[in-house]
Chain A
Amino acid sequence: MRPLVALACGTLFGAGLTYAGMTDPARVLGFLDVMGNWDPALAVVMVGALLVSLPAFQWARRHPRPLLDTQFFLPERFRVDADLMLGAALFGLGWGIAGLCPGPALAGLASGMPEVLLFVAAMATGMSVRSWRVRQRARAGEFECKS
């Protein structure tokens, strides 16, 4: 049942991204280009998403567990640390170059465009390098993300 829910939610997510125009790097960079002919679409998408997700996540706090599992799976780290800030900055740099972030890149794989596949392959490589570095160091407090 849970994989079926994941498929349905992934499909709704991918359809929403595509319908909103967010699978097009031109529209994403149109939003990020605040000095140019600014396109507010991405902000409208975020507001639309939060209109639903904000009350939904707050409402979930009143419940001990989700409908189909024994607990809510949340990140175990709470501090705003250097890894978070540097990682977000590196992500933003890449996002600003290509106009692609992980969701739209994976949805856009279905277009069959080789450049999108190249981006996704490079992204998987970057994730693997980071994971490998964390495991190499394995010092106290070093942290691997979990989904």
Chain B
Amino acid sequence: MFDAGLRAALFGGLMIGAAAALFYWLNGRIAGVSGIFGDLFLDRRNGHSPWRLAFISGLLLGYLLVRAWRPELGQIHLQTNPAGMAIAGLLVGYGTRMSCGCTSGHGICGVARISPRSLAATGIFMLAAMITVALVRHSGLLP
């Protein structure tokens, strides 16, 4: 029923869920990437930089480890031009800061906590992204 790609997706998902669970059990923190990354340079309280920097460094390290082990994984096929990347990055940064979370903090941790805010945010960003892709790929309105 599951092809190799979907088995990998399931296994990868279990790893992500385990990472979020361990981070909460041990450090008591939500594994929300937008918040951890943003507060690295936006939160002026002292003493939080080491764990934030360590978590974000881990994301890059995890990517490198998987690529070292299985070089065919971790490919990145860009879907838009540099201008699109810049606009998308600005929207993702502004939007996640405004809604206090992204796919990890709301989508995985918040949904697991059954937080009404996270359930709402996850539904809205999924729907907004699906509408965006439909407009970009299927509407014929864009060049």
Question: Which A residues contact B (CB, under 8 angstroms)?
Answer: 2-26, 29, 32-36, 40-42, 44-54, 56-58, 60, 65-69, 71-75, 77-80, 83-103, 105-111, 113, 115-116, 118-131, 143-147
Quick check: B58 and A13 within 8 Å, CB to CB? Answer: yes
Number of interface residues of B (CB under 8 A): 115
Shortest beta-carbon contacts, A-B, top 6: A10-B58, A48-B13, A20-B12, A126-B93, A14-B62, A92-B128
Task: Determine if A6 and B55 form an interchain contact, defined as CB atoms under 8 angstroms apart.
Answer: yes
- The B73-121 residues at the A interface (CB cut-off 8 A) are 73-80, 82, 84-104, 106-109, 111-117, 120-121
Chain A residue numbers with a CB within 8 Å of B104 are 13, 101-103
The answer to whether A20 and B76 have CB atoms under 8 Å apart is no
* CB of A55, distance to nearest CB on chain B (Å): 8
Contact A51 B14 (CB under 8 A): yes
A-B contact list, 8 entries, CB within 8 Å: A7-B54, A46-B13, A50-B13, A72-B28, A78-B117, A108-B76, A122-B90, A129-B93
Which residues on the A side are within 8 Å of B73 (C-beta)? 18-19, 21
Answer whether A7 and B29 are a contact pair too, CB < 8 Å, given A52-B21, A128-B42, A130-B93: no
B-chain residues with CB within 8 Å of residue A91 when the two chains form the complex: 91-92, 95-96, 99, 102, 125, 128
**A contacts with B: majority SS:** helix
User: Which listed residue, B18, B82, B129, touches A115 by the CB 8 Å rule?
Assistant: B82
Q: Is the CB of B17 within 8 A of A53?
A: yes
CB distance from A85 to the nearest CB of B (A): 6
Does B27 lie within 8 Å of A68, measured CB to CB?
yes
Least distance between B41 CB and chain A CB atoms (Å): 7
Q: How far is the CA of A18 from the CA of B16 in the complex (A)?
A: 10
B102 interface neighbour in A57, A98, A102, A144, Cβ under 8 Å: A102
Decide if B125 touches A89 in the complex (CB within 8 Å). yes
